[in-house]
């Protein structure tokens, strides 16, 4: 008899839960006004390359009209939602250099743009998210004078001197290992004992500060991390296997931290080039990629 009562009680509880589920769903967050992020989007590499080419020309002209934008595309600048008409992409800029990466599995692109002339220097990192031939998200990190280690002249100089050619298949790294290594690097800001895949030679270009200004063949990116415990969160990945590159959009210093982009170039499973853009105030770099007089090197 006790067993029967337990079965009846269980059935009653399940029925009540089934009845409550729709009500709980109705009380959930309202539907977004923007195109939803797609967990399994569709695209081709050629489509993505056409998008980045159109974006770069659009930044030169100050218009994204040439992009196939979804009517409800989501626009963000420094990880805050903005009106489509308010983003820096509406300002014509003299683009000095553009470097793009394409992930045809996740249907994302990343373009790094350097502007050294025109009155206001910028280093911009823009993601385009695509699905079924349309851009559903435009996400820019905009850095300028006053932001962390900023110097557009140095960023341009060293980027153009680096080798960003397509890798031979034997030099490439598996996507899983690229994610593991990038996470180990970012985790290293909180845990100094992570297993980071340092390579040699390697150079880190951080806003404009450069770790291998002398072009040494034995240079390493293992030049130190800022002291203390700092969490890098909200990580979003883009992987270009042909280029051996993973780009991570994240927040620097917790879930409400500054907008940040870290790009890692792997060769033979090891870091060889690292680029970072961080939209938070900080010390400045000089045109040679060192620190301006009086600035304290945060990695010293």
- Condensed to tens digits (0 to 9), the pLDDT of residues 41-73 reads 999 999 999 999 999 999 999 999 999 999 999
Give the per-residue pLDDT at 119. Answer: 92
Residue 173 lies in a domain: yes
Average pLDDT over residues 148-163: 98
Residue 119 lies inside a defined structural domain of this protein: yes
15 in any annotated domain? no
119 and 221 in a single domain? The answer is no
Going by C-alpha positions, the residue among 178, 162, 293 that lies closest to residue 246 is 178
What is the full DSSP assignment across 170-187? GG---HHHHHHHHHHHHH
Give the CATH number for residue 126.
Answer: 3.10.450.50
Q: How confident is the model at residue 28 (pLDDT cuts 50, 70, 90)?
A: low
Residue-range definition of the domain harbouring residue 206: 166-278
Please say if the pLDDT value at position 269 is more than 90. Answer: yes
Residue 230 lies in a domain: yes
**What SS3 state is found at 24?**
helix
**Same domain membership, residue 235 and residue 178:** yes
Domain count, the chain: 2
The H or E element spanning position 267 is strand 258-267
Give the CATH number, domain containing residue 207. Answer: 3.10.450
- 225 found inside a domain: yes
pLDDT above 60: residue 22: no
**pLDDT surpasses 50 at 15:** no
Give me the sheet containing 209-210, strands edge to edge.
Answer: 209-210, 198-206, 270-278, 258-267, 245-252, 232-240
Q: 278 versus 35: which is more confidently predicted?
A: 278
pLDDT at 264 over 90: yes
**Whether residues 114 and 78 fall in one domain:** yes
| pLDDT on residue 292 | 79
Shared domain for 180 and 270, answered yes or no, is yes
Query: Does residue 183 share a domain with residue 122?
Result: no
Say if residue 236 is in the same domain as residue 270. yes
> Residue 234 falls within a domain, yes or no?
yes
**Structure tokens given for 238:** 């883009």
Of the candidates 98, 149, 97, 88, the residue with the CA atom closest to the CA atom of residue 120: 88
pTM above 0.85, yes or no: yes
DSSP type of residue 227: S
Give the distance, in angstroms, between the CA of residue 137 and the centroid of all CA atoms in the same chain. Answer: 13
User: Cα–Cα distance between 129 and 42 in angstroms, integer?
Assistant: 11
Q: Tell me how far apart the alpha carbons of residues 81 and 83 are, in angstroms, rounded to a whole number.
A: 7
In-domain check, residue 287 = no
pLDDT exceeds cutoff 80 at 99: yes
Residue 23 located in a structural domain: no
User: Rounded CA gap, 234 and 46, in Å?
Assistant: 29
Average pLDDT over residues 254-277: 97
Confidence tier at 31 by pLDDT (50, 70, 90): confident
C-beta atoms surrounding 227 within 10 Å: 10
CA dist 248 and 246 (Å) reads 7
Kindly state whether residues 236 and 170 are assigned to the same domain.
yes
């Amino acid at each position: 008899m006790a067993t029967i009562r337990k079965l009846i009680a269980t059935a009653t509880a399940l029925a009540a839960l089934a009845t409550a589920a729709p009500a709980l769903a109705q009380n959930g967050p309202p539907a977004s006004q923007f195109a939803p992020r797609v967990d399994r989007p569709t695209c081709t590499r050629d489509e993505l390359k056409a998008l980045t080419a159109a974006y770069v020309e659009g930044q030169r002209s100050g218009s994204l009209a040439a992009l196939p934008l979804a009517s409800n595309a989501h626009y963000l600048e420094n990880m805050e939602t903005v009106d489509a008409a308010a983003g820096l992409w509406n300002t014509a800029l003299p683009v000095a250099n553009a470097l793009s990466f394409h992930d045809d599995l996740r249907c994302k692109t990343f373009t790094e743009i350097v502007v050294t002339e025109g009155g206001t220097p910028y280093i911009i990192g823009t993601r385009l998210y695509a699905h079924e031939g349309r851009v559903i998200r435009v996400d820019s990190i905009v850095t300028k004078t006053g932001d962390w280690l900023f110097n557009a002249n140095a960023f341009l100089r060293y980027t153009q001197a680096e080798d960003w050619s397509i890798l031979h298949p034997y030099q490439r790294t598996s996507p899983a290992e690229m994610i593991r290594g990038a996470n180990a690097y970012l985790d290293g800001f909180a845990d100094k004992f992570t297993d980071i895949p340092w390579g040699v030679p390697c150079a880190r270009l951080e806003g404009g500060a450069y770790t291998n200004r002398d072009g040494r063949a034995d240079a390493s990116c293992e030049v130190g991390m800022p002291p203390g415990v700092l969490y890098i969160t909200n990580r979003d990945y883009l992987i270009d296997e042909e280029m051996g590159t993973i780009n991570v959009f994240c927040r620097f210093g917790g879930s409400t931290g500054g907008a940040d982009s870290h790009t890692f170039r792997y060769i033979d499973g090891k870091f060889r080039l690292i680029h970072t853009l961080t939209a938070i105030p900080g010390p400045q770099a000089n045109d040679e990629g060192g620190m301006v007089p009086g600035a304290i090197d945060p990695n010293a």
